[in-house]
Amino acid sequence: MGHLLDRVEADGAVRDACRSRVLESALALALAERYGSGHRHACERMVRYLERHRANGDLMDTAVAATALGRAGHPSHHQALEDIVGRVPDFTGPRKRALVHAIFTMLGAADVQDDVAPQAFDTSALHPWAAVQAVAVKAVLGRAAGRAPVGRDDVTLLASTQRPGTVWEGNLFIHLSVLHALVDVPGMESVVEAGLRTALMHQREDGGLPFVTGTDTWCTVTAGLALSSAGAPSEALHRIARHLVRVQRADGGWSYTDHAQLSDTDCTSVAVEFLHDLDADAFRPPIRRALDALIAVRGADGGFPTYGPGTPSEACMTAAAINALGTQGRHPHLVQAALGFLAGSQMPDGSFPPGWSSSRLHTLFRAYLAARPYLRQSPPAVPDMCRRIAGLVHRAQNADGGFGQQNGAPSDAISTAYALIILAGQGDLAPAVRATGYLLAQQRRDGSIISVPDMLGPRPFPYHVPLLTDAFVLLALGHLTRRIRPSRLVLPGRRLSTAQPTERTTP
């Protein structure tokens, strides 16, 4: 806990830099090379970054890095395409297929296909980020196929995201995609050059560029909830809360960063949980505004989307919204409808469709926590969902006590933390003890936790903010301490002591 407490800044925010990524680095390199010697030093650093990461084991990264560097013998973009489409929710499939074609087109090595479905460019039901990205993809692929130039309205939309020195909504991937879409549009030369300079302002020390400029609010709400679960000092928790109230969006929700306006179900739900746990009475006004924002995006199917009304409901976001709505006890009919959607989304093996995490265990733990308080008053499908979640988790534990992102994958700390939250609610704590032993073995001397990247953006491209692992591990340990009374202190590097179970509680 001490390591995470030290990350709480004077203003109450908890911040950590998003690490460099191959995708944005390659797209920026392609643009910078086009503009010649003015960005020679930046290009050299990006080339070195891509050289170091072009064989990192990820099929898409390998293909993107090798294409950007002009290397032969790399996986084709067709292989990368099929890998990508197989890891996204069905409703995003056509857009992801078009996006992968566009990425390789931007890198100058695409064999443009004519099988991109027209719905990939339909922006009528998209939130603003996805709409801008879809228009950029349409422009890139249309130019490569020799179709008519991008329309005036599309140019206006794309150009509206460009302001020198500012990355629109903090999203460098969309920012770079827009620049590639505008690169040959008459009159946009200065806009593109200024946009490239803005992007290069965010070049990291390792030479690469990140997915987003920051994830400060997502880090803050996640760390706040974790610290609260671990019994952190009240002063630090209230400092975090005051910051969150200051950055609450006009619609009552929260976005992943203080620099973005589009709020999302995830950040909003976790902020509600944290503020409620800390002081439900003191923070009643922002909590009510946030719940109104959640209810405003609720789908007709009873589920909740990530962004905006009319967009598809998702299992993980629905679980998050249930956890938030459940803090007030004022919307039982909405909770039951959402639980029905959640149970109906579960797949035969007990998991759920892909969400915003590389790990299937992320949605599992949130669905488990969402359903647990309502088992007695819900239809049989809800307790059955919980039993299937628990069964999957017990089957998935690796020999080292940890859990991997997918079936058969090697253990990693953040997936293990997700699983531990579920295991902490089971009658037999032996699997939880083994998982905790694995987590303690991943801790560095400074208290941080070693883990693989987990968060996705846009799906299914992983990005890495290390502090999130620390927060989820602490949250998991907080859930575990509700169940056990340690017989002696457990320190990193020591074997876990025997623990005496306390009376069973709901996590």
- Annotated catalytic sites, by residue? 266
Phi, psi of 143 (to 5 degrees): -65, -40
- CA 212 to CA 129: how far, in whole Å? 13
Q: What DSSP state is assigned to residue 163?
A: E
- Dig out the tokens for 195 from the structure: 């946009």
Backbone angles phi, psi at 164, to 5 degrees: -50, 130
Contact between 429 and 483 under an 8 Å Cβ cutoff? The reply is yes
Q: How far apart are CA 46 and CA 51, in angstroms?
A: 9
Dihedral over alpha carbons 222, 224, 225, 226 (to 10 degrees): 80
The Cα–Cα gap between 379 and 455 comes to 32
Neighbours of 353 (CB within 10 A): 16
Maximum Cα–Cα distance across the chain: 73
How is residue 457 written in tokens?
Answer: 């953006």
Residues whose CB is less than 8 angstroms from the CB of residue 288 and which lie 6 or more positions away in sequence, other chains included: none
CA dist 242 and 170 (Å) reads: 23
Give residue 188's Cα distance to chain centre.
Answer: 32
| Calpha distance 496→481 (Å, rounded) | 13
C-beta of residue 182 within 8 angstroms of C-beta of residue 155 = yes
Tokens (6 digits) for 414: 């953040």
3-class SS at 403? strand
